[in-house]
Amino acid sequence: MIRLVQNEWMKLFWRISTWVMTAILLLGVVGVLIYSLTNQPSADELPSEAQWKAGLEQQIEEDRQALEDSGAAADFYEQRIAENEYRIQNDLPPQSATGESVWSFMSTNAGLLDLLSIFVIIVAATIISSEFKTGTIKLLLVRPPSRIKILMSKYLTVILYAVAMLALLFGASFVLGALFFGFGEPSTQLIYTDGEVEQRPQVLALAIDYLTGSVNFVMLATLAFAISAIFRSEAMAIAISVLLYVVGAGVTSTLALAYDWPKYLLFANTNLNQYFTSGGPPVESMTLGFSIIVLIVYWLIFMGFAIWMFKKREISVTG
């Protein structure tokens, strides 16, 4: 099995496209770095404690005014007011008053997880279908290892690739952030639920961002992998998965406004971050445990289909 994964790894990293994707991801980190550097206020421009507190108070006033005037977006204003009051009471300066640190830089880079997800989807979608496209699948399957083993070695390789890219993103962000911004004073993330404000250290918030982001793309990669095993078409596997990735969450949350059943949809559950941040899940009755069970069921369905189709399929290559 290790040899099979070695093989897949070798085939993956002899592809130019793999290196191009890696390079784009690193470029993304460098892009964020340049943006942060050019927009970073110098030390003497940072507001003093009195200044930022005054700023926040002013904002609270404006928000109250807005609430009275229209009543629209009440949730948003109430949350911001509560958070700002909490900061003033507890002496927690907002991001704009602490300046950039390695932690805030890494938190910004968590946005690159979207890019990474698409790359992982591409790898998952091509790792089986490309063998069919080139006809090499026949040479691969007329060997002692069983079809299930071959399929699993490919899946493991996708996961390994995802982990490697994640480590790269995490590592590059950490090293560059530490070099350019220093460790600084970690700012604090606030979570607002049902009128209560809680604080969470940014390092923990970061870990949650990256972990829940990983769950998201592992599920999508599994979906792309299954589609690739079932239809054997690269284009279809990439198109369907990326499309779902882009519109899935939006459509699901729209449906969730009106109905209860969307909570069983994949995309209502892939973003586990919703249980750790202020927004909350799209359907109120959902819990973290519920989402994890739904995800496991989806995962089993995807893998089951992939194995079943790959096992029984007659291997014919046209053209």
Is 145 a residue that touches other proteins (CB under 8 A)? yes
- Do the beta carbons of residue 222 and residue 303 sit within 8 Å? yes
Instruction: Locate 50 and state its tokens.
Output: 């009195």
Query: What is the nearest approach in angstroms of other proteins to the Cβ of residue 317?
Result: 7
Is 96 a residue that touches other proteins (CB under 8 A)? no
Instruction: Locate 78 and state its tokens.
Output: 């109430």
* Region from 4-12, 62-70, 180-188, 275-283 binding other proteins, contact rule CB under 8 A: 4-12
* Region from 6-14, 53-61, 173-181, 273-281 binding other proteins, contact rule CB under 8 A: 6-14
Instruction: Locate 66 and state its tokens.
Output: 């807005």
d(CA 125, CA 128): 7
Binding test (CB under 8 A) with other proteins, winner from 7, 59, 95, 233 = 7
* Region from 180-188, 192-200, 265-273, 308-316 binding other proteins, contact rule CB under 8 A: 308-316
Q: Whose Cβ is closer to other proteins: residue 15's or residue 64's? A: 15
Query: What is the nearest approach in angstroms of other proteins to the Cβ of residue 116?
Result: 23
Residues constituting the chain: 319
Is 146 a residue that touches other proteins (CB under 8 A)? yes
Is 160 a residue that touches other proteins (CB under 8 A)? no
Q: Whose Cβ is closer to other proteins: residue 20's or residue 296's? A: 20
Instruction: Locate 277 and state its tokens.
Output: 């941040």
Q: What are phi and psi of 71, to 5 degrees?
A: 80, -5
Binding map of other proteins across residues 116-135, x = CB under 8 A, - = no contact:
------------------xx
Binding map of other proteins across residues 14-53, x = CB under 8 A, - = no contact:
xxx-------------------------------------
Is 144 a residue that touches other proteins (CB under 8 A)? yes
Q: Whose Cβ is closer to other proteins: residue 2's or residue 258's? A: 2
Binding test (CB under 8 A) with other proteins, winner from 49, 61, 143, 179 = 143
d(CA 90, CA 87): 5
Query: What is the nearest approach in angstroms of other proteins to the Cβ of residue 135?
Result: 4
- Do the beta carbons of residue 222 and residue 139 sit within 8 Å? no
Query: What is the nearest approach in angstroms of other proteins to the Cβ of residue 160?
Result: 16
H-run or E-run covering 211: helix 202-231
- Do the beta carbons of residue 153 and residue 1 sit within 8 Å? yes
* Three-state SS sequence of 233-270: CHHHHHHHHHHHHHHHHHHHHHHHHHCCHHHHCHHHHC
Is 58 a residue that touches other proteins (CB under 8 A)? no
d(CA 166, CA 123): 14
Give the list of residues 6+ apart from residue 181 with CB closer than 8 angstroms, or none: 36, 40, 99, 100, 101, 102, 104, 105
Binding test (CB under 8 A) with other proteins, winner from 142, 257, 258, 259 = 142
The residues of the shown chain that bind other proteins, judged by CB under 8 A, are 3-4, 6-7, 10-11, 14-16, 134-136, 138-146, 314-317
